[in-house]
Amino acid sequence: MSPRVRPRPRVPDELPELPPHLRPAGRVLDARLHLLDRQILDVEDVPVTTLDDLHVSYADGDDDVTSGDRPAFVDQVLTGPVLVTRVFGGRPPASRLVRIPWSDVVDVGVAVRLGVRGEGLDATWVQRWLRDRVIGRIPGGRHDPE
């Protein structure tokens, strides 16, 4: 499972300078550098979850992306069980993916911001369950600290 044991090609110490690619019209982000594992905040700055993975599909919504023939786009932010498989390997079935549509994202900085409230999202169901079944039932759980 560990990628480190795989053989890797040798790299010479001196390498030619590569040409820069034409800068795209929109803002450029590297997925891993700027998006993966960042905190997601809702419209009221309440933490929702972390950005655990991204879902990619072609423009027509077909997510069986197998080649670069056609442009592919990120259409969903994924969270939940996909984090477990990133740590231990494997891949969750599509039915277990917890999705936030990219259209809910309004800003990408040191945190990823959503334009909606976290309350209604699938991504917060565990928290809602804990609130309704455990924390909300303990006296004082719904009051401000003093």
Query: Binders of other proteins among 66-95, rule CB under 8 A?
Result: 66-68, 71-75, 78-79, 82-83, 85-87, 89-91
CB of 52 to other proteins, least distance (A): 7
Distance of CA 47 to the CA centre of its chain: 14
Residue 95 or 145: which CB sits closer to other proteins? Answer: 145
Instruction: By CB under 8 A, tell whether 115 contacts other proteins.
Output: yes
Residue 2 or 95: which CB sits closer to other proteins? Answer: 2
10 Å CB burial of residue 2 (0-12, 13-18, 19+) is: exposed
Give me the sheet containing 39-41, strands edge to edge. 47-50, 39-41, 112-114, 105-108
Instruction: By CB under 8 A, tell whether 136 contacts other proteins.
Output: yes
Instruction: By CB under 8 A, tell whether 47 contacts other proteins.
Output: yes
Are the CB atoms for 84 and 53 separated by under 8 Å? no
Instruction: By CB under 8 A, tell whether 39 contacts other proteins.
Output: yes
